[in-house]
A and B are shown apart, each in its own frame.
Chain A
Amino acid sequence: MTKELFDCRVSFAETLIELASKDKRIVAVCNDSIGSSNLKEFAKLFPEQMINVGIAEQNMVGVAAGLANAGLKPFVCAASPFLTGRAMEQIKADIAYSRSSVVLCGMSPGVSYGELGPTHHSIEDMSWMRAIANLTIAIPSDPNETSSVVQWAALSSEPIFMRVPRHKIPAIPGTERAFDPTKAHVLREGNDVSIVAIGGMVHVALDAAALLEKSGTSAQVIHVSTLKPLDEKTLLSALSKTKAVVTVEEGTTFGGLGSAVAELLSQNSPTKMKIMGIPAVFAPTGSAEFIFDHFGLNPEGVAKEATALIK
């Protein structure tokens, strides 16, 4: 059966529109990214609540800090490579260090812009943002979770970075619930190996576990939504049940989910691990699907690494 696939920018925009219609504090801040953030309808409905500063990311993030410090609730919507890369110091000083209540929405993250090449890939964003104190990092795995993260972020006063996936992904079971930033979820029980996944890789992990079952391996799947702070309790308790852990993420293997889990396990309960993602290279050009296959970030690739790890 073919699964229905979703572009999470759709639920992102629908949710933001719904919130902005009731709460005039909500403003979108863009860098000529209204179309690519799927916010044309938002801009049409709420022209006053759309601040488009043009192609100027440092200014965009600084302006968002000013808007927030004055009592508004800005959602900065910009392609993740430029938002996080170009405006990193503004994110650190103006948003995180200043505890400015801004939601940074990294649109088209990871290898969404696969064909456009490594300048437009955003495989570093989770690692860069994870290194910044005071910043909560939420990485939705499907359209429902994208919506619930936006709803939670609108009410939070903390600085937040979230990713908004662009390439199409299926829905994940259980994501209809309200977002709880403190919780990771065990989606599937298993005894032989654990697969910890985040964002658009959660469905890959579930499919990998189904493949493993066919070959007689019982795999546990853990869905991490909040990369920082990590739900250490759930992870330590669940990961103690298996002798090996595979992590899967759409990003560099340096400093992201795999690193976070390795930091946790190595200091508490050292466990054999395989960190899957984009290794120490710029990814080749090609569609997102091509790049995932290239690095084995598909059910077969994850199942293969899991099998090798427990041999």
Chain B
Amino acid sequence: MLAADTQQVQWWLAQRSLLSGSVQTDEALRHTTLLELSDQSRLEILRIIASAGLGHVGGDFSVIDILTTLYFSVLNIDPKNPEKEDRDWLILSKGHCAAAIYVTLARAGYFPQAELNTFMKPLSFLNGHPSRGKVPGVETSTGPLGHGLPVGVGGAIAAKLQKNSRQVFVIVGDGELQEGSNWEAAMSASHYKLNNLTVIVDRNGLQQGDSTENTNQLEPLDEKWASFGWEVIHVDGHSPTSLLEAINKPRSDKPRALIAKTIKGKGVSFMENKAEWHHKVPSPEQVNAAIAEITS
């Protein structure tokens, strides 16, 4: 198991104190700061995927603005004490986007950023899919799809029983919603009135081989969640302000689903909205072109 980088945690805490809170005096500044942090993470994701020669860059870029917003502005966590009892949980159910969560966790100081250089290399703690036993901050191992939400439901039920203030966030891919286990869990969540549970659907519209709608139609997705007893809010998954506004809305007694409209490969024009970038690895020239676009 990896250990925290205390200096990095100090940096993260400083960012966190500037960017947290339900309302900011300068909301526009928070928005742009979070997007800058997110673009820095994109560069790091690109670097470790190019180095590994493996990874899921399209989905990483689709979800990274959501992860940055949560880790720098929302979650009650302590990277120095990842098992803190009343911590909020973030479960990345779309575990193939491991690079995005590893980069985010490293930037929060859960483990040294140098460890990112080992991504997907022999004997690395940083597998192609996150492991609870190896990486602090990972609440459950994911990779096979449809696993995150049931575990999140368990964590949310436990918080109710323990009278714990824990909020549970589960990020699911949209294609992943074709797995039936999600809907078993969705039923339980409303049955148990889990208003401490939020699902964020990374709705980029593409799965490995094609669009979700050509493969196994998900729409009307909002009606599906609503009919399972969930409060549904549409958000822009690349807008921290849009995400924060939804997350900070007062809760009813229902679990909440945010359908976050996103773009697979967001930030790099030749990757955007292309299913092939699900797990294509950029060539050195493409890496340079991508860096130029992200930093422009």
Contacts and interface: CB of A to CB of B under 8 A. Distances in A.
* Chain B interface main SS type: helix
Interface in A70-93: 70-72, 74, 89-90, 93
Given A66-B154, A67-B158, A59 B140 contact: no
A51 B156 CA distance: 12
Interface string B253-283: 0000000000000000000000000000000
Interface in B129-177: 131-133, 139-144, 146-147, 149-159, 161-162, 164, 166
Interface string B191-218: 1000000000000000000000000000
Contacts, number: 109
Q: Which of A64, A65, A71 has the most CB of B within 10 A?
A: A65
A62 B149 contact: yes
A99 B133 contact: yes
Interface string B7-49: 0000000000000000000000000000000000000000000
B223 interface: no
Interface residues of B, number: 34
A100 interface: yes
B184 interface: yes
Nearest to A56: B184
Interface residue tally on A, bucketed by range: 20 to 34
A278 interface: no
A62 B132 contact: no
Contacts of B187: 54, 56, 59
B151 A63 contact: yes
B185 interface: yes
B83 to A, nearest CB: 9
A94 B140 contact: yes
Contact of B150 (A48, A54, A62, A97): A62
Contact of B155 (A48, A49, A69): A69
Given A63-B185, A98-B133, A99-B132, A93 B141 contact: yes
A65 B91 CA distance: 13
A67 B157 contact: yes
Given A51-B157, A69-B151, A70-B158, A59 B188 contact: yes
Nearest to B148: A62
Given A66-B155, A100-B140, A59 B166 contact: no
A93 B144 contact: yes
Contact of A53 (B140, B151, B184): B184
A239 interface: no
Contact of A66 (B142, B156, B184): B156
Given A63-B151, A69-B132, A94-B150, 18 more contacts: A51-B157, A53-B184, A56-B187, A58-B184, A59-B188, A60-B150, A63-B150, A65-B150, A65-B151, A66-B140, A67-B154, A68-B154, A70-B166, A72-B161, A97-B131, A97-B133, A97-B141, A100-B140
